[in-house]
Structure 1
Amino acid sequence: MKRLVWLTGIILATVALLFGVNVILNKAQEPAKASKAGNSTLTIYNWGDYIDPSLIQKFEKQTGYRVNYETFDSNEAMITKIKQGGTNYDLTVPSDYMIAKMKEEHLLVPLDKSKLTNYKYYDKRFLNQSFDKGNKYSLPYFWGTLGIVYNDKYVKASEVQTWNDLWDAKWKNSIMLLDSSRDMMGMALASNDDSVNATDTATLAAAKGKLDALMPNVKAIVADEIKMYMVQDEAKIAVDYSGEAATMIDEDSHLHYVVPKGNGNIWFDNIVMPKTVKNKKAAYAFLNFISEPKNAAQNAEYVGYATPNKAAFALLPKALRNDKQWYPSNQQVSKLTVYQNLSPTLTQTYNDLFLEFKMSTKH
């Protein structure tokens, strides 16, 4: 009988152990829900490789919070996950137009400025933007531009100083374009000296016509592969974001980046507190931590994007601060515009026009 009881005990213990392991494994597969365990976890939903990992370790050591870090690859993927619910994301990092959209759909929690002790360090030029007046919901994280990447083995800097330079016949079959309707339509609009947020039918049609005229110079229309192609010397010129250009330049010293003179796009990625937040205390602790000048400067050097933190900018190496590729002059910045969140109808118009352009490509 004792042996039977003993065996029964072993069996029950084994079942309990297996059940416990299964529970642990299931929990491990649901990191976004980890903050349910208590107030010791901060769950951040961010772009991939968009923070210095050592800063996360430093934050955990300083505060005692455990950071659960998840990534997304597009604003659309991020907002879909937030809207679906069932997650406990405390902080996320959308781009400008998406912040406006999230506000409209009531997916954000207002920030309590009294708890943002390091808010004072941000450059006023990058606050109070059109997508979030008064920064009611967001805190600047990084900013950048849309511009021209060129290879100095084939192109001189003086030859690509404006968007219209790309239409020169000498660049036949030499240019890589981003597979992005908003950015390529924006480039065409800017080349016509029109707003990158144009809504007038005739203005948009003229931009589409301008794109069509560029086609002989277009070698390919691609997405993330543009970095690889430029590093592998597959094209002389590309249109891409400043941060992507920084990655290319790190791998190939012959590549350079130019913010074209005149109209263009300036973009912002800001940190927000989505309605899924569960640990506000930890969220505010992180916002203050990442806004600390020394931490923000370290993050900017690691990521390669421009910091909106004025005090952090002052701590960057002089060569980086003076590099107009990443930190264009105030005069240049004043001519750049943030993309506005367009209506679904207008968004479809931009997409349709760009699709027509792509379908006419010889590639």
Structure 2
Amino acid sequence: MNGGQKMRKWRTWLVGSVTAVLAAGSLLAGCSTSQQTEGNPPAANQGEKLDAELNVFNWTEYLPQSIIDKFEQQYGVKVNYSTYSSNEEMLAKLSVGSSGYDLSVASEYMVEMMRNLGVIQEINYENIPNFKNISADFKNLSFDPDNKFSIPYMWGDAIIAVNTDKIKDKITGYKDLWDPKYKNSMVVLDDQRAIIGITLKKMGYSLNEKDEKILQQAKDELKKLLPNIKAFDSDSPKTMLINGEASIGFVWGAEAALARKENPAIQYVLPEEGLYLWQDNFVIPKDAPHKKTAEAFINFLLQPEISAEISKDFPYANPNQEALKLIDKSVTEDIAVYPPKDALQNGEHLQFLGDVTKTYDRIWSEVKQ
């Protein structure tokens, strides 16, 4: 991926692949490159005034409005907040250049891809002293060894959630989801790496399989699951579980926890084939017009009390070791959010797959059609 010819080939594919996404919705409106304004409080450790606005691009249901309001009130910065539903959608919008976004969030494999594509830039840690609050367990990982381009935000898993009022059979893993008796009863993540990944796990392979023949077999196997899927939803799959539209879900662990809070009949299944694990990270696009303000925002979010408040509203697992001290034990002891050690050891993170990513894209497109 680092060779010039290979990179040009990859970029050519990427530009072509993002066209459909961009056609579906316009880029962030009003992302102007405003000049620094008088009267704004200084950013942490930088002794300079912040910009008048900040353009943030994040997953849906991942940052409370109350936190944005606090930052705006404290720093006098207007936050323009937009959301996406998948890593691939986010990459498509940031890859065309001059997107106007100052800050985004990317999963581990996507950070590595964006580094290789030159889509993100290095972070100035002089402006983020609260980085010290992040546990060493989540720093210097293989996708960004020195954390030059990314800072951990949240981590977690995706699990199976079952409404036991409707499903009386014992479900133990991904293989059970293919049972024809569950026709039109499931809500699953609208995420190609996750769904192709659990198909591979059901077949006994890795989430990061590269063999083309095996991937073609996975496509055929995934098509057999389609009759059971009522909806693809990465934004708020808990809704269908709570209201009874779906009796089984393959959803984010935090979504399962929120659904169970509303409906105690919903039970967790940590798949015996192994968990799909993930870590999301702050990244700064290469053309960010307000980089220092983005770094000030990250520093603000890494304050223990602010980070803990985020986890209160959206209970994803938190890598902020100081924030963990402030989070209720009912959350930190919830196995859907913080899986037990043995489940973590049996879990797997997604990796950047280089040109094989095109095969996953093609399979997903053919299956969804």
Q: TM-score, normalization: structure 2?
A: 0.77
Partner of 1:233: 244
User: What are the residue-to-residue correspondences of 1:82-231 with 2, within 5 Å?
Assistant: 82-155=94-167, 159-168=170-179, 171=182, 174-211=185-222, 214=225, 218-223=228-233, 226-231=237-242
- Using the alignment, how far apart are the partners of 1:175 and 1:80 within structure 2? 28
Given the alignment of the two structures, is residue 267 of structure 1 paired with residue 282 of structure 2, yes or no?
no
What one-letter code is carried by the residue in structure 2 that aligns with 1:312? A
What one-letter code is carried by the residue in structure 2 that aligns with 1:120? K
What one-letter code is carried by the residue in structure 2 that aligns with 1:347? T
Identify unmatched segments of 5+ residues in structure 1.
Answer: 1-28
Contact 1:179 1:222 (C-alpha < 8 Å) held by counterparts: yes
- Using the alignment, how far apart are the partners of 1:220 and 1:209 within structure 2? 19
- Using the alignment, how far apart are the partners of 1:352 and 1:30 within structure 2? 31
Richer in helix (by share): 1
What one-letter code is carried by the residue in structure 2 that aligns with 1:310? Q
**Structure 1 residues 14-40: Cα deviation after superposition (integer angstroms, max 9, x where no partner):** xxxxxxxxxxxxxxx953115335443
What one-letter code is carried by the residue in structure 2 that aligns with 1:300? S
What one-letter code is carried by the residue in structure 2 that aligns with 1:35? S
Partner of 1:33: 32
What one-letter code is carried by the residue in structure 1 that aligns with 2:324? F
- Using the alignment, how far apart are the partners of 1:351 and 1:78 within structure 2? 15
Q: 1:197 offset after TM fit, Å?
A: 0.5
Partner-residue secondary structure (3-state), 1:229: helix
Partner of 2:303: 292
The structure whose Rg is larger is 1
Check 1:71–1:165 CA distance in 2 against 1; reply closer, same or farther (3 A cut).
same
What one-letter code is carried by the residue in structure 2 that aligns with 1:195? S
Identify unmatched segments of 5+ residues in structure 2.
Answer: 1-27, 38-49
Q: 1:105 offset after TM fit, Å?
A: 1.8
RMSD over aligned CA atoms reads 2.9
**Structure 1 residues 50-80: Cα deviation after superposition (integer angstroms, max 9, x where no partner):** 2222223333444x34132221314344334
Percent of pairs identical after alignment? 32
Check 1:160–1:89 CA distance in 2 against 1; reply closer, same or farther (3 A cut).
same
Contact 2:34 2:51 (C-alpha < 8 Å) held by counterparts: yes
Check 1:268–1:151 CA distance in 2 against 1; reply closer, same or farther (3 A cut).
same
**Structure 1 residues 70-112: Cα deviation after superposition (integer angstroms, max 9, x where no partner):** 2131434433443444454332222323222221121222123
Partner-residue secondary structure (3-state), 2:119: coil
- Using the alignment, how far apart are the partners of 1:70 and 1:357 within structure 2? 32
Contact 1:147 1:239 (C-alpha < 8 Å) held by counterparts: yes
Out of 311, 325, 328, the residue aligned to residue 314 of structure 1 is 325
Q: 1:225 offset after TM fit, Å?
A: 7.5
